[in-house]
Amino acid sequence: MATVVERERKYSGDAGFRLPDLTGCGGVATTSDATALDLDAVYWDTADLRLARSGYALRRRTGGHDAGWHLKVGAVGGARTEHQFPAGPEDAEPPAELVALFRGASRGRPVAPAARIRTRRRERRLLDAAGRPLAEVAEDDVHAEDLVSGERQAWHELEVELVDGDEALLDAVDERLRAAGARTVPVSKSHRALGGRLAATRPAPADPAAAPVVDYLTAQRDTLIGHHAGALGGDEDAVHDMRVAVRRLRSTLRTFRGLWDRAESEAVRAELRWLGGRLGPVRDVQVLGARLADAVHAEPDELVLGPVPARFAERFAADLATALDGLRAALGSDRYTDLLRRLDALVEGPTTRVRPRWVNRRVRRAVTRFDDRLDRALAGGDDTALHEARKAGKRARYAVEVRRPAAKLVDRFKDLQDALGAHQDSVVTREVLREQALRAYAAGENTFTYGLLHARQAAVADRAGPALVRARDRARRRKVRRWLTG
């Protein structure tokens, strides 16, 4: 299976639109002759179109240079990850490798042919002065059919996809195309083909007072699903973003718990905690391993005594393998897909009607709790209390994020979290260094470097204290909290 990152933009034009000369755009020196291609793609989805609704597109395509099974993840107009798998002539179902990647988006439900799209394509390459391909421009005559409703459509569109070029090239081409009368297309071909049925799946609008919370919860649910495939492969950014989405979901369900059935929302929170417990070890090992590798590398060679880098690499490789096995088992389980279905029911179902200022009162309560915990922790200077304050700070920040006028306070809370995080990272790192030193001592190895790194981390904690007080004071200025009293 091959995985590529696709960066493209789509356009449409009126009947008389003609592709303009694109030479001079972002280093384009010449354009290749057009190549004609006939593409025939069948898109698969669940009965309720969960793949399309989650930003996934699964197709089996014939024709072109990359015929086979394709799974695209991401929104049109940005970077999309495409997983490609060859298809045999007798393939009747998508391969298991792809099924695992979209299992979260499908909620574990079966997929079947949903739409067929046939495209007559005229493809040109934009080349630089050395003949290097910078991008491909495709002019497509499209004929689409919804295989369930029978609805048919036909249209003409342009695709500009990067090869060796950059975003500046896309911007330059965009300006030239717009000047010629082109308009951006915000959806993929498959979304357009399934547009009628997709419209019917949209949930009813939320109660206006609760809408900011529902919108926030929906965005975090979608983020979680969107990073399923990357997290399954152990991608660091995907694991991080999925973990943060889980935290935000749990925190939002807690802060605004009066909007849903209490027993169900708490049950979903418990299952999200289970999922976070599988994501956390992977991310923690990735971060800690990188931090200690960098710390050792920063020391002069004469201060690194014994096989310290090798010991760290050995430990964290084993820990990461174990953590990834646990995460992959979770993402492939029925428990995971059941959690997603229950989360869908909360996100897309009705909420309790609340008063217009109910959300603001809940946000204020979360902020006040954080303020109180932080003050007590700073007064006591206890590591455990500071860690608990850090968790309360995350809940407060996530609550504030629900409110759009709160960008400045969100930024101040981020600074606070950074300071609290530096302290907690020091605590965790020192404990790991102590464990490694004990192992090295038992093996008869020199432990000097572990002690040195331990002292460096203690200094980090000492510096974090004053930074934390400054960040706290900035986060409490009246001008960034004024909206909380509204």
Tens of pLDDT, residues 97-114: 999 999 999 999 999 999
Q: What are the pLDDT digits (tens) for 341-371?
A: 999 999 999 999 999 889 999 999 999 999 9
Residues whose CB is less than 8 angstroms from the CB of residue 214 and which lie 6 or more positions away in sequence, other chains included:
206, 259, 347, 351
What are the DSSP calls for 162-228, one per residue? ESS--HHHHHHHHHHHHHTT-EE--S-HHHHHTHHHHHHTPPPPPPTTTHHHHHHHHHHHHHHHHTH
CA distance 455 to 442: 21
Are 332 and 355 in contact by the 8 Å Cβ rule? The answer is no
Q: What are the pLDDT digits (tens) for 49-92?
A: 999 999 999 999 998 888 899 999 987 667 789 999 888 766 78
Is the pLDDT at 226 greater than 70? The verdict is yes
Local confidence band at 408 (pLDDT 50, 70, 90 cut-offs)? confident
Are 312 and 231 in contact by the 8 Å Cβ rule? The answer is no
What are the DSSP calls for 219-262, one per residue? HHHHHHHHTHHHHHTT-HHHHHHHHHHHHHHHHHHHHTGGGS-H
* Cα→Cα distances 392→79, 247, 399, 462, Å: 34, 12, 11, 22
Query: So what's the pLDDT on residue 483?
Result: 76
Local confidence band at 406 (pLDDT 50, 70, 90 cut-offs)? low
Question: Higher pLDDT residue, 296 or 64?
Answer: 296
The arithmetic mean of pLDDT across residues 383-406, rounded, is: 88
Residue 154 has phi, psi (to 5 degrees) of -140, 140
The arithmetic mean of pLDDT across residues 373-389, rounded, is: 89
pLDDT cut 90: percent of the chain above it:
79
Residue 129 has phi, psi (to 5 degrees) of -65, -25
Q: Is 42 helix (H, G, I), strand (E, B) or coil?
A: strand
Is the pLDDT at 449 greater than 90? The verdict is yes
Please identify which residue in the block is written with the tokens 């418990």: 270
CA distance 397 to 401: 6
Please identify which residue in the block is written with the tokens 């902020």: 367
Please identify which residue in the block is written with the tokens 């190895």: 445
Please identify which residue in the block is written with the tokens 């996100």: 347
Q: Is 305 helix (H, G, I), strand (E, B) or coil?
A: coil
The arithmetic mean of pLDDT across residues 166-185, rounded, is: 93
Local confidence band at 206 (pLDDT 50, 70, 90 cut-offs)? confident
Is the pLDDT at 486 greater than 70? The verdict is no
Q: What are the pLDDT digits (tens) for 232-284?
A: 999 999 999 999 999 999 999 999 999 999 999 999 999 999 999 999 999 99
- Residue (of 438, 433, 465) closest to 452 by Cα position: 433
